[in-house]
Amino acid sequence: METLVLLAAAFGAGILNTVAGGGTFLTFPALVFIGLPPVMANATSAVAVFPGYLGGVLGFREELGGFERGKLFRLVWITLVGGLVGSGLLLVSSNDVFSVLVPFLLLAATLVFLFGERLRQWAAARSRGVPAEGALGLFAVSLYGGYFNGGLGIVLLALFSLWGMMDLNRMNALKSGLSFLLSSISVAVFASAGLVAWPQAVVMMMAATAGGYAGAPLARALPKPVIRGFIALVGFGMSGIFFWRMISQS
């Protein structure tokens, strides 16, 4: 039964990530549901969805090649340092503390997903006068991504808009590349610390990959409002469940 829950959640997460994002809303709660401690569930969830980022990097390799190497190298290092710090914070977080933070993190990620395009447009409208490629903003976003990466891609796109970037393909290319690097360092930290439940992670990685492939035709067929509404419903639902768990256990 546990295996079926993980397979279904990871397959659904693969579909969601291909269609619009939000796979964490399924993988993390499923791992908590089968009994993993919240910190380990978060680390294992990060490993489960990790392969999907590589596909994005390969798909946008031409756009990534168009960035100036010096600037790209600087962004890479800021991302890796921020991801390392965020992952380290998760290592020292107790399950009790993380359990209190989880519903707020899920709710924040849901709101970012739901209003992500408006956030990006708001950031683009206020990009004038903002220093290009600000280190502090990228470090903060990377720190969040290393700790809990729900909605990471949307926040990155908003940050790039603040930098004055306009070409969405270049923005998505940079988002995919930095997300892959950030996830790589997070996975390495979690694995070295023994936080990853590998049997569950491997099962979910395979199912998420299959779901990602299956999600492509759905992305073409379903109207965007339907997709966004469903993911928002899942996000708010999972947030409510974890708020209830937090209150009932207090």
SS3 annotation, the chain: CHHHHHHHHHHHHHHHHHHCCCCHHHHHHHHHHCCCCHHHHHHHHHHHHCHHHHHHHHHCHHHHCCCCHHHHHHHHHHHHHHHHHHHHHHHHCCHHHHHHHHHHHHHHHHHHHHCHHHHHHHHHHCCCCCCCCCHHHHHHHHHHHHHCCCCHHHHHHHHHHHCCCCCHHHHHHHHHHHHHHHHHHHHHHHHHCCCCCHHHHHHHHHHHHHHHHHHHHHHHHCCHHHHHHHHHHHHHHHHHHHHHHHHHHC
Q: Is the pLDDT of residue 21 over 60?
A: yes
Q: Is 231 or 179 the better-scoring residue by pLDDT? A: 179
pLDDT of residue 134: 73
Residue 132 tokens, joined: 């290009």
Give pLDDT, residue 184: 92
pLDDT score at 20: 62
Can you give the pLDDT at residue 130?
A: 46
Between 134 and 1, name the one with better pLDDT: 1
- In one letter, which amino acid is 216? A
The tens digit of pLDDT for each residue in 98-152 reads 888 988 988 888 887 778 778 777 766 765 544 555 788 899 999 999 998 777 8
pLDDT at 49: 83
Q: How many domains in the chain?
A: 1
State the Cα–Cα distance between residues 222 and 226, nearest whole angstrom.
7
* b/e per residue 35-62 (b: at least 16 CB within 10 A): ebbbbbbbbbbbbbbbbbbebbbeebee
pLDDT in tens, 38-88: 999 999 999 988 877 777 677 778 888 888 888 889 999 999 999 999 999
For residue 141, which of 165, 169, 168, 161 has the smallest C-alpha distance? Answer: 161
Return the pLDDT at 213. Answer: 76
Question: What is the C-alpha separation between 105 and 151, in angstroms, rounded?
Answer: 10
Per-residue pLDDT at 203? 93
More confident residue, 117 or 24: 24
pLDDT tens by residue, 203-249: 999 998 888 777 767 766 777 787 778 878 888 988 898 899 888 87
Mean pLDDT of the chain: 84
Are the CB atoms for 83 and 185 separated by under 8 Å?
yes
The tokens describing 144, both together, are 């969040």
| Residue 89 belongs to domain spanning | 2-249
